[in-house]
Structures are given as structure tokens and as C-alpha cells.
Amino acid sequence: MATDMQKLIGTSEEDDDEDVEMDVKEEDDEEDDGEKRIRSSLMIGDDGGMVSSGSNNNRFEQHQVQEQVGTPGGGRRCRPVEEKERTKLRERHRRAITARILAGLRRHGNYNLRVRADINDVIAALATEAGWVVLPDGTTFPSRSQGIKAAGGGSTAITSSSSHMASQQTPSTFIRGVRCGLRSLPEYNACRMKGVFLPNSPTYDASPNARCQSSSLIGDAVEQSAGHPLISSSVDAVDGMQIVDVTPKLPERDFAGSTYIPVYVMLPLGVINMKCELVDPDGLLKQLRLLKSVNVDGVMVDCWWGIVEAHSPQEYNWNGYRGLFQMVHELKLKLQVVLSFHECGGNVGDDVCIPLPHWVAEIGRSNPDIFFTDREGRRNPECLSWGVDKERVLRGRTGLEVYFDYMRSFRVEFNDFFEDGVITTIEVGLGPCGELRFPSCPVKHGWRYPGIGEFQCYDQYLLKNLRKAAEARGHSFWARGPDNVGSYSSRPHETGFFCDGGDYDGYYGRFFLNWYSQVLVDHGDRVLYLAKLAFEGTRIVAKLSGIHWWYKTASHAAELTAGYYNPCNRDGYAAIMAMLKKHSASLNFTSAGFHMLDQREDFANSLSDPEAVVWQVTNAARDNSVEVVSENAHPFLDRVGYNKILDSAKPLADPDGRYLSSFIFHRLSPLLLERLNFMEFERFVKRMHGEAVHDLLV
């Protein structure tokens, strides 16, 4: 078992020899004539499946073993106590690795492994997934046979004897001396072997890089294939043996003839400066022409409140945006516009700083309660508190009136673009980052992933709302926030409120969380009602955030502090979707790109489940007949990432064919427009449009 385990996780030939030797030593401790058995461990041939490397290390180890054998006349050898302890520790370490692998496969891979499964069950499960046939007696063979033409003209079938599992945490992995870890498309193309049988495996993995599977050709077979015209790969020498790096190309789904899904590209954050002027119009025009050349449907752009209404209330400057919209119109592209009522800067991906309007900041200096506030009294000026929606604290206007005046000004200013059908969608900013959530995880206040965040309801206006709710319930002493919730970067089990069986599920906890989440729903309801009035006949979109960490806990603490009352015994998204349906609004859910999250060092410790979040939110939307738009949460440019988007946009197993209504690529950059990256992006656009592509391999 231990030797098989080392083969699976990928050790070198020398390490395998050493491990077998040590195991034989341990077994011989109670046997007679140790010298014969030690020699047999060093002379394992084809029957044992080992290859003697003849390295200096092995010769040194053999010399050491011979010195440890008993008297020349034979007899029982005597090993030191320290050596026995080391052997026991090594075996415990192997068993611990096996247990972690089994637990990970059960939890994340949905492998049907019995409780006391051994390494043979793991190998059989992986081989079966990779397309091999494994009989009960262990006989293993491929599901179909292929071969390669040998240099001498014969045909030799070459198969891999076992599945190798590459690490998903490191960019480059060495498996039994075979290096894998090619990351870019040119590297994949430069390292492939035609005609070699390679087992089927899932086309796309949870890693942004395809799972690397390699076959090793050793000895004479390598000598024959080294000059083979069909082989384009590197050859390494290890102790006199040659090992060929072979990275296969795996088949992809064919989306030809599938549903047409529009693709939009989000423009850079700083395309308009603080004076509302178009930055580098010539350079932008060239980039837009490139996007048009690959049949991108349109672009998305933020219209920042802090730029347009920067200096005085109800004085709007749309000049830069008009020039941009005209450029897009001339290229016959479509526009999706985001009305951004939050500040830019300080969040992931923000490369510019666009604060709230100056006159709002002045009000905030004298009345900081217009901003969200945490339990310690720290203010967050990223956006206005939802407590001022109906409070006349903004130079005689309420928060809702400020939003509506801005939306109405935009609709009047760009009426011609609405009439011509250039502007197809309006996404209304509803909170931090434009998302309908509380700003529970501000980095500037000390939050670090995967912290649970903190409740943001301690400004005087939301506290007044909480008091009214507590009095209406008949428990005025509930007019407070919970005091055992930890800090921004706490874990659920470290708090009395979010731990299993904690106060979140008590009478007060349920009251508070109901009130807190209802504040979120009510804010979205009011703003979307006004947006529907201002943009009648145009699609309205609201954006939700994918809070995936601590999803596997009972409380779902990170979702609770964000305003999504979604513990394991309650659906926290149904009320939000019902509100969107009420206003015929679509949902923009930032789910695409979650497959890259497992590269984070702290991902495994956050009890995260991004796929479950996506499933719950999208199903809640579709149950309420709400259209779903998506954008990638993390940047990527590789084919595996695009394939993940395609699979989620056009799910194969959905009998109702419920696809995304559009996809927004985040975002336009010089890196995207580099030749190879742009070719891959063009291929992605074609497949989203249901067009045929020729190279269906990854």
C-alpha cells in the first residue's frame, strides 16, 4: 500500500527503491537469514515492476545495508531502535497522506469510496474516470485501443499503467521524473504526441490549467521515437534512462449550432478621467475596432456618479461619455451602461481612484452617519448608507431622489442612443462595487480572506430603523446589534454567534438577521422601482456578489454579514429573486472564474463551495423566471477558463436549455489584445455565438 501511495503522489525511481528496501527491512525483523531478503529487495526485476537505476545513492544504500547484516555465518540481523522508530513514523506519514487524499476525493470529487477504502480503490476510481476499464480482480485496460507507428515500421500500442494525479496547488509538477505544468497555448502545442493512446479524462478541471497527464516511454522505445516525425516534445535523461514529456490534447465539447449568447467586453475603469474627458480616444478606437473584428456584440462602461455630478448637486457633465458612446455607435457595437453610485479604488481589480462627489464628501464630514458604519464606529465612504434612502440629508434631497435625478438626467441626455437601440441594458448600482450587498468586507478596515466580515448597521439611521422593528416585535431590548460576532477576519467557529449551534439560530438571532436582510431587499426594491420608471422599455439589471467562503458551515457567516440570510436551513436568495421579478429585472451574478479559486493557499481552509453558490443562486433566479447575466470574477486568458465559462453558460445537462442571456468579459486590456491571447478570445466568442471551430482540443 505504501509503495503504491508513493507512486500515486509522484516520487522518483530512487525514492521508490529506498521505500521498498525499508519495507523489506521492516518485514525481516522477525524472520531468519536477513541477508538473502535484503539482497532480494535490491535486485527486484521485471516481476516487481521496479527499474534499478544504478545510481551512486543506491550503491551507497546497498553498502549500508550489507554492513547492517548479521554475522558472516548467517543469522538474524539487529537494527537500531532509532531506525525502527523512523520506519514507524514514515508509515504513519504515508497513512496520513492516504487519509487526506481519500477525504479530499470524497468531499470535492464525489468519488464513491467506502469508509475503509485503500489506495487500490483510489487508483481504480481515478482510472475509471480517465476512461479505463478496471475489473474486480484488478485487470485494467483502455476502453478503446490506439497505437503509434514505430520507427521501424511496426505498430506498437503504448498505454499508461496507472493514472497520475498532478498537484493543483503548484504551477509545475514532477510525476515520477516526468515534468508537467505547461501553462500557455504555445507550450501545449509544442509538446504533443500524435497517435499515442491516452485515456479519456474530464475535459476541464477545477484548476485554471488543464490537468497534466503524461506517459513515460523508457529505454528502447524512447530511442526509436526520439527522431520520430510525429513527436514534438522534450526528452530528459535520468540515470541513463530517457523519459519523454508528453502532454496530450483532450477533446472539447462542440458548441456548433448551440444557442447564440451575446458577448460584451467591459472597458477599463479609467477610460473617462475626473474631468469627464475621454482618455486616449485614438488608442481606444483601435481597440474597439479589434473587438469588432472578432464579432464582439458590444461593450460595457461605468458611468461614475463621482465624475458626472462631482462638484454641485444636479449639475451633470456627460461630455466624455457622449464622445465614447458616439464612437461605439459608429462601429455598430452595442452598449451596456453601469450607473455606478459607489467609489472606485481600494477593491480587488481597481486601478484608478474615483471618489463619491465632492459635495457628498462635505456632507459626510459634518454628518458621517450618511455612510455605512461598523460596530466599532468606523465609517465606510464607499457608498451611501441605505438608511438615508428616505432621509433628507443630501442638500434637501433623500438618497432615493439623488439616484432618480441622476438616472433621469442620463435618460434625457442620451435619448438618441436609446431610440437607435445602441444602449440595450442599464445596470443600476445598488451598493459597494455596484452589488446589492452590505460592505461587510472592507480591506481598509482589516478584513482579509477568508474572514467572515462584520455587520454594517450602526449608523444612526439604520439603528433607528432597527429600534422600530424591535418595538413592533414587542422586544425593545433587541434594538441592538449582536456583540459576540468576532471581527472582520474571524472564523465562524471562533465566535459565539456564527459557530455551530450559535446565537444566529436563536430567537434574537433570527429576528436580527431577518431585519438585516430585509433592509437589503427593501433598498433594491425602491431603487429598481425608480429605475423602471426612468428607463421604461430598457432591460434593467441588478448585480449580486458570489459569497462562497464558509458556505459549507451551518451558519454561512460571510453571507449573513453581507445581508444574504442564507444559513443551511433557509433559502436566502428567494426573496431577492422575487423582488427582481417584480420589476422585470435581470440578475448579473459574478460567478464565472470561480474555478481559479482553488489556487489560493487558504482556499481549502475556508470551507468554500463556489459551485454550490452558483447552483443555488442561478436556480433561485430561474425558479422566478429571472434572466441571468454573468461576468468573470477573476481575469483569465487560457482555454480552460473559457471552457469553464462555456460549460456554465450552456449547461449540457439542463433539459430546459436555460442559458445565460449574455456574458461580460472582465475586462479590456493590452494583455487581452496580444496575438495569442486574442486568438484564444476570438475562438471563445465564436463558440459562445454557436459557430463551429476547427481545433476542438485543449
Among 254-263, 303-312, 492-501, 634-643, the minimum mean pLDDT is found in 634-643
> Is residue 442 pLDDT above 50, yes or no?
yes
Band (pLDDT 50/70/90 cuts) for residue 398 is: very high
Secondary structure element (H or E) that encloses residue 112, with its range: none
> Residue ranges of the domains in the chain?
265-586
Among 38-52, 188-202, 503-517, 519-533, the minimum mean pLDDT is found in 188-202
* Residue bearing the bigger pLDDT, 171 or 454: 454
306: Cβ contacts below 8 Å, ≥ 6 apart: 343, 344, 354, 355, 356, 357
Among 205-214, 278-287, 586-595, the minimum mean pLDDT is found in 205-214
Among 155-169, 502-516, 570-584, the minimum mean pLDDT is found in 155-169
pLDDT at 91: 83
pLDDT at 155: 36
Count the neighbouring beta carbons within 10 Å of the beta carbon of residue 257. Answer: 8
Q: CA-to-CA distance for 316 and 305, rounded, in angstroms? A: 9
pLDDT at 86: 82
Percent of the chain's residues with pLDDT above 70: 69
Count the neighbouring beta carbons within 10 Å of the beta carbon of residue 647. Answer: 16
> Is residue 335 pLDDT above 50, yes or no?
yes
Rounded average pLDDT over 161-169: 35
pLDDT at 594: 55
Band (pLDDT 50/70/90 cuts) for residue 135 is: confident
- Residue 26 C-alpha cell reads as 521492516
Among 569-583, 592-606, 650-664, the minimum mean pLDDT is found in 592-606
- Each as own residue / partner, the long-range contacts of residues 132-140 (CB below 8 Å, 24 or more positions apart, any chain) are 132/163, 132/199
- Each as own residue / partner, the long-range contacts of residues 96-104 (CB below 8 Å, 24 or more positions apart, any chain) are 97/5, 97/9, 98/1, 98/5, 98/122, 101/8, 101/9
pLDDT at 79: 65
Catalytic annotation on 277?
no
pLDDT at 43: 41
Instruction: Compute the mean pLDDT over every residue in the chain, rounded to the nearest whole number.
Output: 78
Q: Which of 531, 566, 525 is nearest to 545 (CA)?
A: 566
pLDDT at 186: 37
> Is residue 675 pLDDT above 50, yes or no?
yes
Highest mean pLDDT range out of 80-84, 342-346, 404-408, 446-450?
404-408
> Is residue 167 pLDDT above 80, yes or no?
no
The active-site residue, picked from 435, 454, 559, 627, is 435
Catalytic annotation on 413?
no
Percent of the chain's residues with pLDDT above 90: 56
Secondary structure element (H or E) that encloses residue 426, with its range: strand 423-428
Secondary structure element (H or E) that encloses residue 370, with its range: none
Residue type, 673: L
Annotation-wise, does 590 bind a ligand? yes
Q: CA-to-CA distance for 541 and 585, rounded, in angstroms? A: 5
> Is residue 82 pLDDT above 90, yes or no?
no
Q: What letter would DSSP give residue 211?
A: P
pLDDT digits (tens, 9 = 90+) for 169-223: 333 333 333 333 334 433 433 333 333 333 343 333 333 333 333 333 333 433 3
Among 17-26, 119-128, 184-193, the minimum mean pLDDT is found in 184-193
| 563 three-class SS | coil
Annotation-wise, does 302 bind a ligand? yes
Residue type, 93: H
Highest mean pLDDT range out of 68-82, 138-152, 345-359, 625-639?
625-639
Q: Which of 195, 225, 235, 192 is nearest to 210 (CA)?
A: 192
Annotation-wise, does 77 bind a ligand? no
pLDDT at 138: 79
Secondary structure element (H or E) that encloses residue 8, with its range: helix 2-9
Helices of type H across 232-345: 281-293, 305-308, 319-330
- In 92-181, DSSP assigns E strands to 132-134, 140-142, 148-149, 155-156, 173-175, 178-180
* Residue bearing the bigger pLDDT, 402 or 165: 402
Q: Domain 265-586 sits in which CATH superfamily? A: Glycosidases (3.20.20.80)
Band (pLDDT 50/70/90 cuts) for residue 503 is: very high
pLDDT at 659: 86
- Residue 37 C-alpha cell reads as 531478503
Rounded average pLDDT over 649-673: 89
Annotation-wise, does 633 bind a ligand? yes
> Is residue 165 pLDDT above 50, yes or no?
no
pTM beyond 0.75? no
Q: CA-to-CA distance for 160 and 141, rounded, in angstroms? A: 9
- In 157-251, DSSP assigns E strands to 173-175, 178-180, 192-193, 231-232, 235-238, 241-244
Three-state SS annotation for 319-344: HHHHHHHHHHHHCCCEEEEEEECCCE
Q: CA-to-CA distance for 303 and 271, rounded, in angstroms? A: 10
Residue-wise burial string across 272-299, b where 16 or more C-beta atoms lie within 10 A, e elsewhere? beeebebeeeeebeebbebbbebebbbb
pLDDT at 132: 78
> Is residue 506 pLDDT above 70, yes or no?
yes
Q: Are strands 241-244 and 334-340 parallel, antiparallel or unpaired?
A: unpaired
How much of the chain is helix, strand and coil, in % rounded to 5?
40, 15, 45
> Is residue 304 pLDDT above 90, yes or no?
yes
The label of the residue with cell 535486485 reads 43
pLDDT at 238: 42
Rounded average pLDDT over 361-382: 97
